[in-house]
Structures are given as C-alpha cells and as structure tokens.
Chains A and B, each alone.
Chain A
Amino acid sequence: MTQDVPPRESSWPGRRRVTRRTAGRAGQYLALLCYLVFLAFPFLWLVSTAFKPPRELGTLHPTWIPRAPTLDNFRTAFDEQPLLRAAANSLLAAAVSALVAIVLATPMAYVLARLRTRFARAATGWVVVSQAFPLVLLIIPLFLVLKALHLVDARAGLVLVYVVWSLPFALWMLTGYVRAVPPELEEAAAVDGAGRLRTLVSVTGPLLAPGIVATGLFAFITAWNEFFFALVLLKSPEKQTMPVVLTHFLGAEGVADLGPLAAAALLATLPSLLLFAVIQRRITGGMLAGAVKN
C-alpha cells in the first residue's frame, strides 16, 4: 500500500520565511560592506599613494597596488619636515586636553544629569548652542585673550583652547551617559550603606567608564586633527602640530608634493587608528558590564 506524499505546501511558508530572512541578512551584509568600502576608500587610497613613486602618481589610470612600491616618500617626508616632533606635539596637546576635558566634564555632566532644575536645562541648552559658533568669529578675540594671558605660542594656551572647544560636546555626551545610569542603583547602594563617594566610585563610575572612554577618545581625536587654532596660536616651529606641518607639503594654487604628503598623512592617522583599536574592546566590554549590573 502506498502512502500519499504529505502535501509540500504546508512547509512553504516556513521556507519562504527562511529564504526571506537569509536574503534580508545578505542584503544587510552587502549594504554594510558597501558602507565599509565607502568609508575605507580614502584611507586605502592614502596607503596606496604613500608607497607610489612620483611617476606612478601622474598616470591617467592609477592602480591600487603600486607597481614599484617605494619608501622614498616616507624618507622625503621625514627629511623635509620634523614629523616626529610634530607628532609628539600633537600627542601632548591631544592627550592633555582630552584628559583635562574628561576630568572637568565628568563631574559637570553628573551634576547636569542629576539636577532636574531650570539651571541644568538652560546649561544643557547653552552647551548645544555653543557648538554652533563659527570658528572664524572666535579666533581673533580668543587670540587677544590668550595674548593678554601670555599664552600665545604656548602649548598650555593651545591645550586650554582645545579643552574649552571640546568641553561642551564632551559634557553633552557624558550627560547622556550619566542619564543612562539608573538613579535607583545609587539609591540601592545608599540603602546598603555606601557613602556618597563610595557610591560614585564603586557603582556609578564603572557604569560610566565606557562613556568616559568614548568621550575621551572624541576629545583626543578632535584635538589631534585640529588645524586652525594650532596654525594661529603657535608661532615657534618647534611647537607646531601635525596638521599644521602637513600643510607644508602644499604649494600655491593647490599644487602638492603628493607622495610625501600622503606618507606624512598616513603617519598622522596611525595614532587615532591605534587608539581606536585598543580602546574599542574596552568600550564594548564596559557597556556589557553595565548591562549586567542594570
């Protein structure tokens, strides 16, 4: 006796769902890949250019992989400009200003996030508005103020400006992170007998850590890439920062010493990339830790 084959139609909706889901996932990955390629293109092109000899730069059909890769561009860049000194100056300015910005912004953000007063709302609003001021409006008054303080051509002056410049956004970012920490956790700690300082250090602090790291990274990269203030405020060659030194590879009417410029620019991007690579895991780890506690 033969048995009827069970009707296949009954499994079709399930298969269709799986197929649809797979197609959707593939589409997502494809979109993500396109986005990554789009983001990575300038960097990959920079890497490619940095290793090309001059004759490969002037071709109508450039290749991704240099036909005759060379380190000459790096040699020339180092010969022509004090890149290491500039990198050290940038590193110092960026690290100190990021640290100071975080130290200042964290308690301020805590206050703004926890105080539900008109003042706190107004302060937060002002922080957002202050981001809208164009740089050119500020530079000459700022220059005069710093001159009065004898902080023109001083690294401390530049750090001060970077702190002031990154502080509003850092404050705004951190306020969001503080608000994400439930006050009930602090209340619970207090019920368990923890003092205010203990609560901040042992409960709130670890939950805020990823936010603090992310904000610090933002402040660091803002200062590392900043060009105009460094150009205007620092006069002595030995104090110039990396972005300022990079412009020395440019001539009038947009002409550039392209190979050495690409080599130097590649070196300038490395600290940011390394920092991201090192810190990214900690940001993720910190977020997960916060989630478990919550």
Chain B
Amino acid sequence: MTARVVLPGLLRDLADGAAELPVELGAPAPLSQVLDAAFEPWPILASRIRDERGEIRRHVNVFVDGEDAKRADGVRTEVGPQATIHVINAVSGG
C-alpha cells in the first residue's frame, strides 16, 4: 500500500518538480520513517522540512490525514499505509 507525501509548490523544484512522493508501507509507521523514505533521494528537500535533529521546522506544518502532526506526536505520529501527508508552510511572516 502507498502513502503519499504532498509537497507545497515552493518546494517542488527540489524534488525534480514532483507534487507528491509515494512511500510504500506494509504497516503503520512513524512519520519520521515515512519522511525519511520519501525524501531519501532529495536531501536538500529533507533539510527544508526538518532540522538535523530530525524535528519539523518551527514554521513548517505536516498534516497526517488532515491532523497536524505537531499537535499529535510530532515525528513519532503514526502514519497509516494509505495516509496522505501534507507538508505546508505555516501562515506567518511579514
């Protein structure tokens, strides 16, 4: 089964233009593992979303099936095998 990581337009250039990245999952897995797999070919893209500790950056939000992972269990949030994961830039700045 395939989970999907959907990228914001601003970051698609870092994934050769892909709007979403498929991740094959046989069973539920932590978000960190899914993101590691999705971004494995594109380390610069990975660094835009998570810092070197693996934490999601302050003004980036990751939603797992519509639920904000930061309000759940962060990168330890469980992801189902057919989940849709949205990466979006938070509404902030001036």
A-B interaction: no
